Amino acid sequence: MEAIRPTQPGGPEILKVAKCPTPTPAAGQLLVRAEAIGVNYIDVYHRTGQYKTERPLPLGVEGAGVVEAVAPDVQSAKVGDRVVWCGTPGSYATHVLVNAERAVHIPDGMDSKLAAAACLQGMTAHYLAHDTFRLGPGHTALVHAAAGGVGSLLVQFAKRAGATVIGTVSTSQKAALARQAGADELILYGEQDFEAETRRLTAGQGVSVVYDSVGATTFEKSLRSLKTRGYLVLFGQSSGPVPAIDPQVLSAHGSLFLTRPTLAHYTSTRAELVARAKALFATISAGALEIRIGRTFPLADAESAHRALEARLTTGKVLLIP
Buried residues in 13-51 as b, exposed as e (16+ CB within 10 A): ebbebeeeebeebeeebbbbbbbbbbbbbbbbbbbeeee
- CB contact at 8 A, 295 and 321: no
- CB contact at 8 A, 232 and 261: no
Judged by CB under 6 A, the residue of 115, 147, 181, 207 near ligand NDP is 147
Interhelix angle for 302-310 vs 41-48, to 10°? 100
Residues from 66 through 125 that contact ligand NDP (CB under 6 A) = 120-121, 124
CB of 31 to ligand NDP, least distance (A): 26
Judged by CB under 6 A, the residue of 99, 205, 312, 321 near ligand NDP is 312
**Shorter beta-carbon distance to ligand NDP: residue 76 or 217:** 217
What is the spatial distance between Cα 170 and Cα 315, in angstroms, rounded to a whole number? 11
Task: Indicate whether 170 belongs to the interface with ligand NDP (CB under 6 A).
Answer: yes
- Residue among 117, 150, 119 at smallest CA distance from 261: 150
Judged by CB under 6 A, the residue of 151, 182, 206, 322 near ligand NDP is 151
Task: Indicate whether 38 belongs to the interface with ligand NDP (CB under 6 A).
Answer: no
Judged by CB under 6 A, the residue of 14, 37, 117, 145 near ligand NDP is 145
What is the spatial distance between Cα 225 and Cα 238, in angstroms, rounded to a whole number? 19
Residues from 184 through 243 that contact ligand NDP (CB under 6 A) = 213-214, 217, 235-239
CA atoms within 13 A on the CB side of 224: 11
Ramachandran category for residue 254: left, alpha or beta (phi over 0 → left; psi -120 to 50 → alpha):
left
Judged by CB under 6 A, the residue of 314, 319, 320, 322 near ligand NDP is 314
CB of 158 to ligand NDP, least distance (A): 15
Task: Indicate whether 310 belongs to the interface with ligand NDP (CB under 6 A).
Answer: yes
DSSP annotation of 266 reads G
Task: Indicate whether 31 belongs to the interface with ligand NDP (CB under 6 A).
Answer: no
CB of 255 to ligand NDP, least distance (A): 24
Stretches 7-15, 87-95, 145-153, 197-205: which one binds ligand NDP (CB under 6 A)? 145-153
Task: Indicate whether 273 belongs to the interface with ligand NDP (CB under 6 A).
Answer: no
Task: Indicate whether 148 belongs to the interface with ligand NDP (CB under 6 A).
Answer: yes
What is the spatial distance between Cα 210 and Cα 91, in angstroms, rounded to a whole number? 31
DSSP annotation of 212 reads E
By the criterion CB under 6 A, which residues form the site for ligand NDP?
40-42, 120-121, 124, 145, 147-151, 169-170, 174, 213-214, 217, 235-239, 261-263, 309-310, 312, 314
